[in-house]
Amino acid sequence: MERIHYDQELWGPEDVYTFVPERHLTKRHSMAYMPFGVGPRNCVGMRFAFMEMKMVLTKLLKDYTIVKCDKLESHIKIQEIALIIALQEIWIKLQKREH
């Protein structure tokens, strides 16, 4: 797994050990980035990470309402690689709910 994630041919020409988030904008093979592995032997941490994200999102949406921000553009451009990535900033406001 580490050899794939640090392969100069897949992730170059920048130093593969340097954090360059823009490198993920380039179209690559769908199996070039596998943070949790794939198949029956994938990392159990993936399920834990997804559960944690769901719990945080649930708590956030329980306590706050998402309100449109004045800075938000009417159309959001996205790119789909391993994840869906917004090509520009997405501005929102969180408004505390009254319980």
Going by the annotation, the residues of the binding site for heme are 43
- Tokens read off for 40: 């029956």
Q: Which residues are annotated as a binding site?
A: 43
Give CA–CA dist 68/57, Å, rounded.
18
CA R_g for the chain: 18
In whole angstroms, give the CA distance from residue 48 to residue 83: 18
Tokens of 21: 């988030």
